[in-house]
Structure 1
Amino acid sequence: MKWLTDNLERFLIWVLSSGPLPRHVAFVMDGNRRYARQHQKRVFEGHSDGFMALRRVLRICMLLGVETVTVYAFSIENFKRSQEEVEALMSLAEDKLIELCEHGDLLDQYGVRLNVLGKRDLLPESVRAAAERAESLTRQNDKAMLNLCMPYTSREEMATALQSTVEEALASDVDLSSLSEKDVDKHLYTSQVGSPPVDILIRTSGVKRLSDFLLWQCCEDTQIQFTPTYWPDFGLRDMIPILLDYQRSMWSRQR
């Protein structure tokens, strides 16, 4: 049965690969807690299942040839949740950051470089150390990129980028009135690691809002897709209609 499922997946991916494919796909991984309640699980288990979904979706994206995957792993606002849940999430992040990068694991297999983007000084010291080690272990990978945004909000990213832009201009005696959006853009977290423009942003769980994620990056040509599937259940069957819609849009632009 697994052989049949794997071969069907590869066939579907091969069919999708015959059309235009996005270079950069971003995900708001929403619905872990509701998934846990639905399945009579603890909240921590829902987040753990969400990590397994990330592995599954990342593998699909790599087989499709997507260059960059960016995920909203932890919002700065999430620190307002219960201490128990925040501590559980930080512990999970610490464990999984290294697990993702172990020799022979998914990132190594597909040549994926890991970047942790956000206000990292808010993370516990052990999680920061795990993030730095994970980035170091994948630094030589150059086939694709996984951006984990944690802890992150778009407003903080834009404010930090603007501050860096002004500081750089003052240090170089550049006239501040000459600064443009391009100067700010190059200081964004995603720009600093070389991410291409976001082609598709997907939010799971049926909630239709961006929740302060990649607001600057999604202001132009990004296709925004909402799906009712909870993140731990998200997979290829959910990706297919999204990718087909993207391909239809690309073909219509070429006419």
Structure 2
Amino acid sequence: MAKIGVPGGTPSERESPAVSVAGSAVPRHVAIIMDGNGRWAKAHGLPRFEGHRRGVEAVRRTVSAARDLGIEAVTIYSFSSENWSRPLAEVSELMGLLKRFIRSDLRDLHANNVRVRIIGEGHPGDSEIETMLRETEVITRGNTGLRLTVAFNYGSRNEIARAVQGLARDVAQGRLTPDDITPERIAERLDTAELPPLDLVIRTSGEQRLSNFLLWQAAYAELVFLPVHWPDFDRAWFEKALSEYSRRERRFGGIEPDGC
């Protein structure tokens, strides 16, 4: 686990670092907790909505950088199941941004061979958003490039509970026995079952927690915390996180060859 830079530092201390990842090991699957939109807006004397709008621009930069860097899958924490507790006006603004992002970016994502998937429980009351999300999945289903997964109305505890409930129903109906329930079977029932194992979790804004995001999947992932607010996240910051990842010795509970 690492925290890079000085959280809450001056603007000059938070400038994008210039880092090369040439020749470094690139993770197959990167997850990103896009934190700090509201704080970015406050620091710039702007309404919170502007922070969220600039955050969408950061998503576009991130997708482009991930494609260029050869990353196979990116999973972004778009909207958590806990975010519904935010003020109604802010939630409405976020939903509007989501709709605009899909309308304006779907064509480019599809043209660039990006496959989009949605995980989580969807929108409980907006059929237009639900339709748009599912159409995005259908349109890009045959693409073979970057796999962009959007966690929307997502909570990891709920995801794990849903997976276990499905296995419990199989046991009750005689298709499985309790001894058949293994970590591998649980992983197969998670929303991310089709994705590569999670290698790296990046969280912006200097906070150091997972916030109910991919708890099962992150068991052996590397965690990197950046002091930059999400609207300022760019390729240079992405490469900084990847450079930190490449320095890690990933042992997955084992030991190094020299026994240390």
For Structure 1 versus Structure 2, the TM-score category normalised by the shorter chain is 0.7 to 0.9
CA contact (8 A) 1:98 1:134 kept: no
Q: Which amino acid aligns with 2:198?
A: V
- Which residue number corresponds to residue 34 of structure 1? 39
- Which residue number corresponds to residue 236 of structure 1? 235
TM superposition shift of 1:254 = 8.4
Query: Among residues 77, 82, 92, which one is paired with 1:72 in the alignment?
Result: 77
Superposition TM-score, scaled by structure 2 size: 0.85
Alpha-carbon deviations, 1:38-65, whole Å to 9, x = none? Answer: 1122211111110100000111111001
Written as runs of structure 1 = structure 2, the 5 A alignment for 1:29-178 is 29-102=34-107, 105=108, 107-122=109-124, 124-178=126-180
Quick check: 1:23 aligned with 2:39?
no
Q: Higher relative contact order by CA 8 Å / sep ≥ 6: 1 or 2?
A: 2
- Which residue number corresponds to residue 199 of structure 2? 199
Written as runs of structure 1 = structure 2, the 5 A alignment for 1:183-198 is 183-191=185-193, 194-198=194-198
Q: Which amino acid aligns with 2:38?
A: R
Alpha-carbon deviations, 1:6-64, whole Å to 9, x = none? Answer: xxxxxx89x52422110001100000011111112221111111010000011111100
Name the SS for the 2:50 alignment partner: helix
TM superposition shift of 1:174 = 1.7
Superposition TM-score, scaled by structure 1 size: 0.87
1:158 & 1:140 partners in 2: Cα distance?
A: 28
Structure 1 pair 134/254, CA: closer, same or farther in 2 (3 Å)? Answer: farther
Name the SS for the 1:91 alignment partner: helix
1:117 & 1:123 partners in 2: Cα distance?
A: 17
Q: Which amino acid aligns with 1:146?
A: L
Q: Which amino acid aligns with 2:34?
A: M
1:123 & 1:148 partners in 2: Cα distance?
A: 18
Unmatched 5+ residue regions in structure 1?
1-11
Q: Which amino acid aligns with 2:167?
A: T
Worse-matched range after superposition: 159-168 or 26-35: 159-168
Alpha-carbon deviations, 1:219-250, whole Å to 9, x = none? Answer: 12x11000110000011221223212222225
Unmatched 5+ residue regions in structure 2?
1-17
Aligned length, in residue pairs: 237
Structure 1 pair 34/121, CA: closer, same or farther in 2 (3 Å)? Answer: closer
1:60 & 1:243 partners in 2: Cα distance?
A: 12
Q: Which amino acid aligns with 1:65?
A: G
* Larger proportion of helix: 1
- Which residue number corresponds to residue 219 of structure 1? 219
Name the SS for the 1:219 alignment partner: helix
Q: How big is the alpha-carbon RMSD for the aligned residues of Structure 1 and Structure 2?
A: 2.0
Structure 1 pair 56/134, CA: closer, same or farther in 2 (3 Å)? Answer: same
Structure 1 pair 74/157, CA: closer, same or farther in 2 (3 Å)? Answer: same
Structure 1 pair 65/172, CA: closer, same or farther in 2 (3 Å)? Answer: farther
Q: Which amino acid aligns with 1:245?
A: E
Name the SS for the 1:74 alignment partner: strand
Q: Which amino acid aligns with 1:209?
A: R
CA contact (8 A) 2:35 2:203 kept: yes
